[in-house]
Structure 1
């Protein structure tokens, strides 16, 4: 069960995030200079920086995450020449989307004092490969995404609807897809919080 605890603060969450350095001609340069620093939109906010490096050949690639032991292996979808040895970049984007909604829901719940239980999410998407594979003119992104979520809460339906709207507003990947013009259907179901 996913429990949101008041003892976990935003500061503790932020403290676990690495500070990443950029390199210029092989030399590290600080990311927090006053001239190039992007200012957060909230006085307590911070700008998170990401640095990922990919190496590979053909449609297979491994992406290392700077400051982390984690790496992601991706291979093009079989329709694009992959052999199904790893998730495709499209699979990874969609799995990041459902995961980002769960993380955002947890953050929103933490800030609002809401207890969450189990989160079950599913994303379905449609992508016309005409632009990517055949070079057709048009939009090369997903046409439609449907996010279906069953989430355990103690909220009434009105409060749950407001909660889901706030998650959509604050989720970086939801905003990325919305701003790209993707048609998104959010189908969240409020389930009773299981007692253990």
Structure 2
């Protein structure tokens, strides 16, 4: 494939951002015109008037997993119900705040997900594996080299 070939499967995600200090206002390009704000804790120079970009990164992980799960479930013929996520990212701030040598990434991110499904255990294990493989945000974390823990529980589907 040459660089001039247009792949119809590629969707651009574009944000415009403007800010002062450590706070930003961001606008997603597109018809819906979604907007959101970021800030930081006072220890990082912010006023804590909006979520930290790190919370958005972790929130992107939960929501992208859920979107990907819906796509995978459709492929596997699984019915899904409610999702419950708890995600923890452990960040050593020495590089970010003090300028120490090292990597400013999270040291560890742990995903605990409970999802209601009608899948048997073998199908659920395939489902979880495929969600991890196909989720773009999960792959950003996994490929960054941090310790990534991904534990999913299959809960009984209530109708």
TM-score, normalized by the shorter chain, greater than 0.5:
yes
1:194 shift after superposition: 0.2
Q: Which residue of 2 aligns with 1:12?
A: none
Higher radius of gyration, 1 or 2: 1
What TM-score do the two structures reach when normalised by structure 2?
0.93
Q: How many residues align?
A: 157
Structure 1 residue 74 corresponds to structure 2 residue 38 = yes
Q: Which residue of 2 aligns with 1:91?
A: 55
CA distance in 1, matches of 2:60, 2:51: 12
Which residue of the other structure, out of 50, 57, 66, is the alignment partner of 2:13? Answer: 50
Q: Which residue of 1 aligns with 2:145?
A: 181
Q: How does 1:1-196 map to 2 (within 5 A)?
A: 35-36=3-4, 39=7, 46-67=9-30, 68-195=32-159
1:161 shift after superposition: 1.2
CA distance in 2, matches of 1:164, 1:78: 38
Secondary structure of the residue that 2:111 maps to in structure 1? Answer: strand
1:137 shift after superposition: 1.0
What TM-score do the two structures reach when normalised by structure 1?
0.76
| Distance verdict in 2 for CA 1:115–1:129, change over 3 Å | same
